Structure 1
Amino acid sequence: MFHKEGFKIITIAIIIFLGINVASYVAIQVEEIQFGILILSLVFLVLILQFFRNPKRETLLNDTTVVSPVDGKVVVIEEVFEKEYFKDNRLQVSIFMSPINVHVTRHPIGGKIAFSKYHPGKYLVAWHPKASEENERTTVVVKNKVVEILYRQIAGALAKRIVNYAKEGELVVQGSDSGFIKFGSRVDVFLPVGTKVKVSLNEKVRGGESVIADL
């Protein structure tokens, strides 16, 4: 199953794959070269297909838990000052996605979208300390009867487009599709100070399934 954001790119990749191999068959009579072109173009196509995959995830709905919004590795767990929305101290959990991770973003909790804003910006590497403030990014806040959670999609050096489906005022289900980031990137989650974090640094997590915090 592939994410809808990849349909256009996948179609173009398949056309390029077929075009290159038909051209090599017609223009090149050396089988070894034809085979080499086939393998290289096939690897390129497989990379595109795996990047846009959208596996089904089973989220255990629970208003007192926060699930990971993305697949990746936990790279930051620290208390910081969140100055865009809360304007107070929050516990930040950051998850880095490599180009081989699933890049679907999912709602970490269910509830109502209280805030959603896009910020154009730079394309520093996703783990750069200033990436969360200077890179292209979106900030989304989901609120339910238990808590307000802010999560921020941050573009990386390779990511040039963030897709965000969250619209202020709409109701969302925990673990449901909230967007997509094209190529390597990062997502920051901001939790109330004192929240019990259930993951550790360098731990790998799965979007929509791994519980990253208990409220």
Structure 2
Amino acid sequence: MNMLGTFIKPMHPEGRKFVAIFAAITVGLFLLSDILGWIGVILTIWCYYFFRDPERVTPDREGLIVSPADGIVSLIEKAVPPTELGMADTPLTRVSVFMSVFNCHVNRAPISGTITAVAYRPGKFFNASLDKASVDNERNSLCIRMEDGRDLAVVQIAGLVARRIVCFVKPGDDTETGKRFGLIRFGSRLDVYLPEGVVPMVSIGQTMIAGETVIAELNADTRG
């Protein structure tokens, strides 16, 4: 890897218009003041950085569930998946990954399978790190049916700053572990509802890398 590639990452196409808007505003700010103009430059660089879309190396061992987002594990608890997915109302282990405005916001599939449901629900914009964000905030939920017939839910949740959830997949699409499926603009959270009996291998406060960090293993031996 060359030095330039360490700092300059590809940008997701969703970010191009935002970077263009920031750059245009920056030109106007330079006409008013050099100080304001350089502030605009910094914000434009930050906007590019927000929409960066680096390549990831996804572990290829069968049965691994990986993080769908960059960020920090903020919650691990039992919860019922979103009702709009039509899944059973049995509480499952939910692992929540909180993304700050400095994290990469491209979301990746936690497991391979077929998308059986995609359900958007409008809502509020509480801080995404709060527990009630899973229930009250704007969200987009996906159900992935794995090869063994079990279902896994992954939910994109808008945050305090986020105002736009983008999803690239639809019911009937096949996906692969680590494949891009969406993004959320400007701060948010991803929830993963693990299949019944699957135990998380991460802890609260752990740093996650989308498409790379293993959350759980379907075939792990959970006997004490």
Shift of 1:82: 2.8
Which residue in the other structure is 2:181 paired with? 178
Which residue in the other structure is 1:28 paired with? none
Q: 2:11 aligns with which of 2, 7, 18?
A: 2
Which residue in the other structure is 1:102 paired with? 104
Shift of 1:19: 3.0
CA distance 1:67–1:41, shift in 2 (3 Å) = same
Contact 1:111 1:173 in 2 (8 A): yes
Deviations along 1:10-60, one digit per CA (max 9) or x if unpaired, are 111122222322x14xxxxxxxx62x2343122111111111111111112
Deviations along 1:89-146, one digit per CA (max 9) or x if unpaired, are 2011000000000001111011100111100111111122221111110110111213
Which residue in the other structure is 1:66 paired with? 65
Higher-strand-fraction structure: 1
Structure 1 or 2, whichever has the larger Rg, is: 1
Q: 1:137 aligns with which of 139, 142, 148?
A: 139
Q: Distance in 2 between matches of 1:53 and 1:81?
A: 33
SS of structure 1 residue aligned to 2:16: helix
Q: Distance in 2 between matches of 1:86 and 1:159?
A: 29
Shift of 1:83: 5.2
SS of structure 2 residue aligned to 1:48: helix
Shift of 1:179: 0.4
Which residue in the other structure is 1:79 paired with? 78
Contact 1:66 1:108 in 2 (8 A): yes
Which residue in the other structure is 1:205 paired with? 208
Number of matched residues?
205
Q: Distance in 1 between matches of 2:160 and 2:91?
A: 28
Q: Distance in 2 between matches of 1:196 and 1:205?
A: 17
The runs of at least 4 consecutive aligned structure 1 residues that moved more than 4 Å come to: none
Which residue in the other structure is 2:56 paired with? 57
Q: Distance in 2 between matches of 1:108 and 1:206?
A: 11
Q: Distance in 2 between matches of 1:38 and 1:164?
A: 34
Which residue in the other structure is 1:40 paired with? 39
Q: Percent identity?
A: 37
SS of structure 2 residue aligned to 1:121: coil
Q: What TM-score results when the alignment is normalised by the length of structure 1? A: 0.90
Q: Distance in 2 between matches of 1:82 and 1:52?
A: 29
CA distance 1:63–1:116, shift in 2 (3 Å) = farther
Q: Distance in 1 between matches of 2:173 and 2:195?
A: 23
1:92 matched to 2:104: no
Q: What TM-score results when the alignment is normalised by the length of structure 2? A: 0.87
Q: 1:14 aligns with which of 2, 23, 26?
A: 23
SS of structure 1 residue aligned to 2:142: strand
Q: Distance in 1 between matches of 2:42 and 2:21?
A: 15
Q: Distance in 2 between matches of 1:109 and 1:189?
A: 11
- Give the gaps of 5 or more residues in structure 1: 25-32
Which amino acid counterpart does residue 144 of structure 1 have in structure 2? M
CA distance 1:170–1:83, shift in 2 (3 Å) = closer
- Give the gaps of 5 or more residues in structure 2: 1-9, 219-224
